[in-house]
Structure 1
């Protein structure tokens, strides 16, 4: 009986079941993100199905960030790139929204901040250090989180744009996009990265909980399919399970640049159209 169980566990992780590199996953997630942002910027022009498709973007990108962190040859440089992405996104968006202070559509998200925090949390967890050094690092992280949270909350009373900028410069686990919930998902994805069955069960449970949470807001088609449809991220699971452990082509700076650039372009177009 033990042999059968072990054989099943091995089969679940065999390469014959997988065939997609992180490059392909990123391209799929990028397209999904673009469709989602088009629908969000122009809800009267693009169908809600674009938003449904867009639900796969964050979990797939998060999966790729985790794989990148696992396979990087230089963790510090990897963390630095994610942090710079967060800073560039926040500073650029702050400048735009300061210049267009009366714009109807605002930029509220910065997924780089969330991914940076996730990478930091995973690094703190897996780094092999003496207990004393690890405790000191966790204390530093917690202190920074407390300071950033208090600063962001204070700035919220002054200007949402300044609070947004602060969150990009000092990413906070509570105020960043997706908040603690998505950071927990990312940590669980990392924890079960070597077992497809456990990974799948965890992810399905997470999506079911998202669905149940949406139901509490109203068990209606309008609510579940047009308002609170984050649970549709379930469709990202087959893509992540199809990962073949390979990087594929390397266009990392393209992916880093696309996120802020397309967000800013859509911001300008949406507000230009709204003004007419």
Structure 2
């Protein structure tokens, strides 16, 4: 997962060298990698692993260092650093992945928590809650809080610039039936097919956008 996240980060960087408009920032590999690492730490804690505290300390240092590198140096390092804040979806989607792991054995909790997340995230995005807060702080000259939240909100995964009334992120609720129908058994392994399909389809759509 880490290696594909690194490869996707390089691909994004190359594509953005030829982009005229919006930049390509798709890299779900990093998001899933972050979720996987945190889940492993949770399992180490649950199993009373003798080196849990060492691993936790190393992870925290890694995340802090990665945060500064990604923020102040260059976005290309997103794939390299595997940071929980600099990834597709931001911190909130990493939190969602970890939450689903914690409640994976209770479908009722999954349905409630996932639906609530979809509603709240879509409402905040489409209603422009964050941009409204930022603009009010700027208007009333709360400079310290304004600049702090201009950094914090994007790291959490929220847009601070415009109201996105046409956001389609709410459609993620369509994944809920498939999550609930999962029987807990591993199906046919097609892992590497999707690992390849993901960057391939983004590359194809990018080329089509340039041609058309």
* Change in CA separation of 1:211 and 1:96 when aligned onto 2, cut-off 3 Å: closer
What does residue range 159-178 of structure 1 map to in structure 2 within 5 Å?
A: 162-163=74-75, 165-178=76-89
Unaligned residue ranges in structure 2 (runs of 5+): 130-162
Alpha-carbon RMSD: 2.1
Higher-Rg structure is 1
- 1:230 is aligned to 169
Taking the aligned partners of 1:154 and 1:260, their CA distance within structure 2 comes to 26
- Give the conservation status (yes or no) of the 8 Å contact 2:28–2:88: yes
Matched residues, number: 177
* Change in CA separation of 1:105 and 1:190 when aligned onto 2, cut-off 3 Å: same
Taking the aligned partners of 1:120 and 1:185, their CA distance within structure 2 comes to 14
- Give the conservation status (yes or no) of the 8 Å contact 2:8–2:27: yes
Q: String of CA shifts for 1:124-175, please: whole Å, max 9, x gaps.
A: 11123445x21111111111111111111112xxxxxx41x20001121112
- 1:87 is aligned to 6
- Give the conservation status (yes or no) of the 8 Å contact 1:214–1:229: no
- 1:64 is aligned to none
- Bigger relative CO (Cα 8 Å, ≥ 6 apart): 1
Q: Output the TM-score relative to the length of structure 1.
A: 0.59
- 2:98 is aligned to 187
* Change in CA separation of 1:95 and 1:196 when aligned onto 2, cut-off 3 Å: same
Taking the aligned partners of 1:232 and 1:268, their CA distance within structure 2 comes to 25
Taking the aligned partners of 2:21 and 2:126, their CA distance within structure 1 comes to 30
- 2:15 is aligned to 96
- 1:122 is aligned to 39
- 1:208 is aligned to 119
Q: String of CA shifts for 1:38-90, please: whole Å, max 9, x gaps.
A: xxxxxxxxxxxxxxxxxxxxxxxxxxxxxxxxxxxxxxxxxxxx101101111
**1:106 maps to which of 9, 23, 46:** 23
- 1:158 is aligned to none
Q: String of CA shifts for 1:191-232, please: whole Å, max 9, x gaps.
A: 1111111111111221232243246328xxxx78x5234233
